[in-house]
Amino acid sequence: MRILASWILLVMAFAAIPANAANELILGVQDTTQNRSSVVRQYRGLATYLKRMLKQDVSVETAKTNEEFLAGAKSGRYTMMYGPPSMIMAANKQSGYQPIVKVPGRLAPYFMSFAKTGISFPEDMKGKRIGFPGEQSMITQLGLAHLRGEKIDPATYFKSVVYFTDADSVLSAMKNNVIDIGVANSSLLDAWTAKGHDISLVMQGTGVPHLTFAVKKGFPEKKVLTEALLKAQKDPDGQDYFTTSRFPNFEAASMEDYDELVKILQIK
C-alpha cells in the first residue's frame, strides 16, 4: 500500500507541473552585479517577443561568473546564451553552442587616463598604477594579451595592478586618484567624455565582435530564432531591450567572425 501511495503522489506531482514547463526555453545571460532582478527586467521584453515568435515559453536566467555561465551551457540547461563573445566561443568549444547574431560594432581594450595626469603615450604608463574591470572580464584578458604582445609584463612594468568588479568602478578609481590608467571597452571612451570627463586614449588593443547571441547545437527552431532576432528592433516588445541597452539592433554572426578572438585568447 505504501508503494502504491508513493506512486499516486508521484503521478499527482507530475500532473501539477504546467504542460508547457517541459517546453520552456531558457536564455542564459551574464550578470556581474548583485542586482539580478534588474537584469531579468532588462530582457523581459525580448523574452516576451521570442516567446511569441517561437511559440514556447522563454525565461531568463543569470550567471554571475564565467564558471557558472559555462556550467549552465555544459549541462545543456540553456537553450540560448547571450554574452561576451569570449564566453560564447568557450561554450562553442565546450558544448557546441553556435553564434547566430551579435550587436553591431567591435569591442577593444582601451587604456585611458585623465588628461591632467600627463599620460599620453604607452611609454608614459611605466611605473604608474593601472586598473582593469575584473580578472574574468574579456576586456581584461584582451588588454593583458595586448600587453604581452608589446613585451610588457604588468607585474614589473606598472607600480600596481588592480582588478575591479566592472568598468564603472574603473572610472571611479581614476576619478579618486586610486589608479592612473584605466582599462575599459572602447565604447566607454565616448560615453565618459560625453559626461564631461577629460579622458585621453593612451593605447588600444585589438577589436573583437560585440555581445553575441548563441543557440544550443541541434535546436530545431534555429532559423526561426535567428530571423526573429534580426527583426527584434521592429517589434514593440523586442525594441524594449534595445531601448534599455541603447544598442541599435542585432546583425548576423558566423563562426568566422570569431577566429581572431579565439586565437588571441587561445580558447580551446
At 171-181, the pLDDT tens digits run: 999 999 999 99
Question: What Å distances lie between residue 164 and 182, 245, 246, CA to CA?
Answer: 10, 22, 24
Q: What is the residue type of 96?
A: G
pTM equals 0.86
pLDDT mean over 30-43: 75
Measured CA to CA, the distance from residue 86 to residue 141 in angstroms comes to 9
Kindly list the domain boundaries of the chain, sorted by start residue.
21-105+209-265, 109-205
Per-residue pLDDT tens over the stretch 48-86 = 999 999 999 999 999 989 999 999 999 999 999 999 999
Indicate the range of 5-9, 110-114, 212-216, 238-242 predicted with least confidence.
5-9
pLDDT of residue 16: 39
Q: What is the SS3 string spanning 1-42?
A: CHHHHHHHHHHHHHHHCCCCHHHCEEEEEECCCCCHHHHHHH
CA distance 205 to 93: 24
In the predicted model, what is the mean pLDDT of the chain?
Answer: 90
User: Rounded to the nearest 5 degrees, what angle is found at the Cα of 132, between the Cα atoms of 164 and 111?
Assistant: 145
- Residue 194: the pLDDT is 87
pLDDT of residue 32: 67
Residue percentage of the chain with pLDDT more than 70: 90
For domain 109-205, the CATH class is alpha beta
Q: Identify which has the larger pLDDT, 95 or 36.
A: 95
Helix (H) or strand (E) holding 114: strand 109-114
Q: Which residues contact 28 (CB under 8 A, 6 or more apart)?
A: 61, 62, 63, 69, 72, 73, 77, 78, 80, 81, 82, 83
Quick one: 5 exposed, middle or buried, by C-beta within 10 A (0-12, 13-18, 19+)? exposed
Mean pLDDT of 237-261: 96
Q: How far is CA 145 from the centre of its chain?
A: 19
Identical topology for domains 21-105+209-265 and 109-205: yes
Segment 126-151, tens digit of pLDDT: 999 999 998 999 999 999 999 999 99
CATH topology of domain 21-105+209-265: D-Maltodextrin-Binding Protein; domain 2 (3.40.190)
Question: Cell numbers 600627463 correspond to what residue?
Answer: 118
